[in-house]
């Protein structure tokens, strides 16, 4: 197990725990609106690594991998009315998005 794998595992555990906290929060406060969609963005320093990660994520989700004309890839898994959407962001696009948000 590499340091990168350990960090990714820790980040995944933290994200799953945060989702559990969100569920508990929403469950305790019925007056708060419930999100209809959760989006996870996948970024990789090298486009082929991101492509492999997206293909693997789609397979594990049991979802079709969709490829847009601009090369953006995504996969969606529905859990009743809630959808988990995983979207690939290539590093050049991610850098532009970060610059625009600043």
pLDDT in tens, 5-64: 555 788 889 988 998 998 999 999 999 998 777 776 665 556 667 788 888 889 999 999
Q: Where are the domains of the chain?
A: 1-34, 35-102
Q: At CA 52, angle to CA 51 and CA 56, rounded to 5?
A: 120
Residues with Cβ within 8 Å of 92's Cβ and at least 6 positions away in sequence, in order, are none
The pTM for the full model equals: 0.62
- The pair of structure tokens assigned to 22 is 């969100």
**Best-predicted range by mean pLDDT (17-26, 49-58, 70-79, 93-102):** 17-26
Q: What is the CATH number of domain 35-102?
A: 3.30.460.10
Q: 60 burial class (0-12, 13-18, 19+ CB within 10 angstroms)?
A: exposed
């Amino acid at each position: 197990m590499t340091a990168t794998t350990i960090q990714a595992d820790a980040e995944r555990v933290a994200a799953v725990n945060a989702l559990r906290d969100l569920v508990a929060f929403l469950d305790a406060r019925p007056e708060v609106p419930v999100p209809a969609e959760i989006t996870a963005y996948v970024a990789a320093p090298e486009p082929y690594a991101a492509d492999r990660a997206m293909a693997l994520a789609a397979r594990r989700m049991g979802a079709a991998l969709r490829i847009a004309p601009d090369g953006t890839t995504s996969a969606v898994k529905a859990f009743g009315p809630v959808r988990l959407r995983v979207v690939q962001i290539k590093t050049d696009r991610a850098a532009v998005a970060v610059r625009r948000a600043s």
